[in-house]
């Protein structure tokens, strides 16, 4: 197995368990540059690109190029190697959706000139490239539309809502609610997502498939759940809602159920317990490091 990462938002520590395997290779590279991989390649998972809004907005042109030039480079590699390739697309292709349950036939409501466009439009273009290579160049393509995913090993400063709330509660900081907290998201635990991606890769489906957990929560509900589970009494502080922040998001996973026999099995309640346990350990370790004399 070869892992390619430019470590823009990734952390080598997350690969610690894999690095000792004889069959494991790590390449530090940006996929915007063409990849040279020796020998045969069976499958490629394109999981590249920061997914957290504050992270992907730091360098929007680079984000866009990761999604377009990077995806084109990997498709070219797949074609040359005869490899099957899976694209991590996103629920962001639906933008700020006008319908409550987003199914794959919905064409979305994306602002092309706004702070989220570099990611949303990049991912939409990525799907177009996948479709062209799949429909007209004989490449075995798969497209997963991934909805909000969370779990252990996220970066404490990732900036997305689950890690923000959990880390804030554990550190004793106020929870940052953007807007009035009534916007909704559907949160999928990482193990469920990985299982969905593997099943999609193994399937014969070339058209996009939603992968996500249909349980829908407001950000206020999530905040209260995190406070209850961490036993924290920190206050909530209300900050402005970022521009173009989707009001609602909930996947229709009928296609994933039918085509892949897949559905999430880890409810938010359990996934949060596991995530909080991991972050609690991480926050403790970080505190200890701060206390050690340098
Ligand atoms: N959000 C929030 N507080 C935070 C971070 C995010 O209230 O500290 C909100 C954000 O405005 C959005 C939702 O939580 O409505 C999910 O944001 P996230 O960045 O996790 O993912 P995305 O917006 O890409 O779905």
Could you identify the atom of ligand 1 that is nearest to the CA of residue 92? 24
Q: Using one digit for the tens of pLDDT, what is the confidence trace for 59-99?
A: 999 999 999 999 999 999 999 999 999 999 999 999 999 99
Strand partners, 236: 175
| Any atom of ligand 1 within 6 Å of the Cβ of 244 | no
Task: State the pLDDT at residue 272.
Answer: 98
- In this structure, which residue's CA is closest to atom 10 in ligand 1? 178
In the chain, pLDDT over 90 holds for what percent of residues? 96
In this prediction the pTM is 0.97
pLDDT at res. 294: 66
Q: Which of 280, 92, 119, 251 is closest to 187 using CA atoms? A: 251
Report the alpha-carbon distance of residue 3 to residue 25 in Å, rounded: 6
Q: Flag whether pLDDT at 291 surpasses 90.
A: no
Bridge partners of 102, per DSSP, are 251
Is the CB–ligand 1 distance for residue 176 below 6 Å? yes
**Is residue 246 helix, strand or coil?**
coil
Decide: 178 and 245 in contact? Cβ < 8 Å.
yes
Q: Is the pLDDT of residue 278 over 90?
A: yes
The CA R_g of the chain, rounded to the nearest whole Å, is: 19
Q: What is the pLDDT of residue 19?
A: 87
Q: How far is residue 123 CA from its own chain's centroid?
A: 12
- pLDDT reported for residue 149: 98
What is the Cα–Cα distance from 220 to 218, expressed in whole angstroms? 5
How many Å separate Cα 222 from the centre of its chain?
Answer: 18
Is 119 marked active-site? yes
Output b/e per residue, 197-216; b: 16+ Cβ within 10 A.
bebbbeeebbbbbbbbbbbb
Which is catalytic among the residues 119, 150, 178, 189? 119
If you ran DSSP here, which 8-state letter would residue 97 be given? -
Q: What pLDDT, on the 0 to 100 scale, is given for residue 171?
A: 96
Mean pLDDT of 26-45: 96
The pLDDT tens digits of the residues spanning 36-66 come to 999 999 999 999 999 999 999 999 999 999 9
Domains for the chain: give ranges and CATH numbers.
2-283 (3.40.50.720)
- Three-state DSSP at 204 gives coil
CA of 180 to the centre of ligand 1 (A): 12
Residue ranges of E strands in the chain: 2-5, 25-28, 43-46, 84-90, 141-146, 149-150, 175-178, 184-185, 188-189, 209-211, 217-218, 236-239
Facing residues of 2 across strands? Answer: 25
Q: How far apart are CA 20 and CA 261, in angstroms?
A: 34
| Strands 84-90 and 141-146, bridge-based pairing | parallel
Using one digit for the tens of pLDDT, what is the confidence trace for 159-189? 999 999 999 999 999 999 999 999 999 999 9
Q: How does pLDDT run across 125-156, given as a tens digit for each residue?
A: 999 999 999 999 999 999 999 999 999 999 99
């Amino acid at each position: 197995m070869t892992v390619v990462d430019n470590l823009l938002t990734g952390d080598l520590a997350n690969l610690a368990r894999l690095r000792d395997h004889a069959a494991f290779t790590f390449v530090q590279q940006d996929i915007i540059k063409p990849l040279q991989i020796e020998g045969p390649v069976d499958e490629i998972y394109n999981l590249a690109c920061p997914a957290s809004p504050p992270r992907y907005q730091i360098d929007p042109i680079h984000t866009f190029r990761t999604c377009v030039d990077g995806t084109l480079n990997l498709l070219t590699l797949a074609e040359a190697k005869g490899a099957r390739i899976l694209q991590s697309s996103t629920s962001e292709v639906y933008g700020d959706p006008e319908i409550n349950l987003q199914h794959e036939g919905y064409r979305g409501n994306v602002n092309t000139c706004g702070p989220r466009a570099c990611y949303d439009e990049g991912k939409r273009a990525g799907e177009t490239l996948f479709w062209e290579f799949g429909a007209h160049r004989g490449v075995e393509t798969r497209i997963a539309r991934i909805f909000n995913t969370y779990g252990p090993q996220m970066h404490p400063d990732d900036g997305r809502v689950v890690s923000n709330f959990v880390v804030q509660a554990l550190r004793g900081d106020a929870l940052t609610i953007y807007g009035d907290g009534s916007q909704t998201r559907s949160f999928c635990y990482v193990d469920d997502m990985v299982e969905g991606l593997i099943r999609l890769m193994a399937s014969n489906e070339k058209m996009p498939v939603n992968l996500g957990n249909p349980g829908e929560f407001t950000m206020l509900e999530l905040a209260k759940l995190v406070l209850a589970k961490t036993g924290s009494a920190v206050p909530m502080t209300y900050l402005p809602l970022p521009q173009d922040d989707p009001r609602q998001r909930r996947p229709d996973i009928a296609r994933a159920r039918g085509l892949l026999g897949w559905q999430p099995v880890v409810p938010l309640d359990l996934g949060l317990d596991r995530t909080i346990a991991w972050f609690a350990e991480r926050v403790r370790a970080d505190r200890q490091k701060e206390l050690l004399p340098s």
